[in-house]
Amino acid sequence: MRITAEAKSATRQRILQAAMSLFVSDGWQHTTTRGIAVAAGIATGTLFNYFPTKEAIAAALMAEALERAGEEFHAGHSGENSLEADLFSLIWSGLRSLREFRKCLAAASETIFSPLARQSPDSPGDAIRVDHLELVEAILTSHGFPAPRPVVTVQLYWTLYLGVFAYWAADDSPGQEDTLALLDQSLKLFAASLKFDQGRGTHGCQPQ
């Protein structure tokens, strides 16, 4: 029997919804691919046709949430904000959209965002990284920091992002206000480094 694209998409969504419910109710450690398959009403083998691992399911959930956050950011983007404010809006709307299964992500992100896993083309987190950095590149360009930019700059951003992400996933302060402060300070640091680089590129290192 031939399965239509619509049916595939519907099954994929059923898996994601079942996984989300189980991650929230049972936690990351106690949720199995078998349990997700049962909750989604499919055979475990069928689930593997869609997602090879539990981490891949979590990564897909993250990717969807972050995509929605990116759309939300573009919809509310006025072009009046500072670079720090734009990056803050993008990142925080992403984190807010993931708030429901925040605690699960603390464990899952270790695998999803592992720098070692990134060397594999099937790494579930790499697509998230690439998509997110594309958005960041666009924001930087719109604020007068045109590409290409040094690899170090991108790496610095991603390191700060992961640091904030990891902190947020385990942040027990009310409304994650500590993460708000950390994100604000991290972005000030990042923006300052960009401006410093730009200033140095224009005025510094002149030949003697």
Partner 1 sequence: MDVNLSELIAALPEDDPSSTVNAAWAQERLREILADIAQRPAPASSLHRLWMLSELSTQIALAYLALWVRRWFDDAEAGKRRLMETNLRMALKTFHRLGYMRGAMTKLGQTAGNLPGILPAQVADTLDRLHFEAPPMHYPLIREVVRNEFGKESEEVFLSFEKEAFAAASLGQVHRARLKSGQPVAVKIQYPGIARTIDADFRNLSALVLPLRLGKAWESQKAQFEEIRRMLNQEVDYLQEAESQRLAGELFRPEDGIVVPRVYAGYSGKRVLTTDYLQGLHLPDYLATNPTQASRNAFGTKIYVAWMRMYLAFMTYGDPHPGNYLFLSDGRLGLIDFGCVQHYGPEERELVRLAEKMAYEDPSIIREVVQRACGVAEDDPELDDYVRMMEESLNWMMEPVRQPGAFDFGDEAHFQRGMDWFSRVLRRRQVRAHPMYVYWNRSVFGFKALLFRLRAQVDVHAIVHQERPR
Q: Which parts of this chain interact with partner 1 (CB under 8 A)? A: 81-82, 84-85, 88-89, 92, 173-175, 177-178, 180-181, 184, 188-189, 191-192, 195
State the DSSP H helix or E strand holding residue 206, giving kind and residue range, or none if neither: none
Cβ 25 to partner 1 shortest distance, Å = 23
Which residue's CB is nearer to partner 1, number 111 or number 176? Answer: 176
Q: How far is the CB of 90 from partner 1 (least distance, A)?
A: 9
Which residues touch 146 (CB under 8 Å, ≥6 apart)?
A: none
- Going by C-alpha positions, the residue among 130, 106, 126 that lies closest to residue 118 is 126
The C-alpha atoms of residue 170 and residue 130 are separated, in whole angstroms, by: 24
CB 59 within 8 A of CB 100: no
Complex with partner 1: residue 118 or 195, whichever CB lies closer: 195
* Residue 110 or 178 having the CB closest to partner 1: 178
Q: Which is nearer to partner 1, 55 or 171 (CB)?
A: 171
Distance of alpha carbon 65 from alpha carbon 94, whole angstroms: 7
Q: How far is the CB of 181 from partner 1 (least distance, A)?
A: 4
User: Closest approach of Cβ 88 to partner 1, in Å?
Assistant: 5
Q: Which CB sits closer to partner 1, 49 or 185?
A: 185
Smallest gap from Cβ 116 to partner 1, in A, equals: 32
3-state secondary structure of 150: coil
The Cα 187–Cα 191 span in angstroms is 6
Q: Is the peptide bond before 148 cis (omega within 30 degrees of 0)?
A: yes
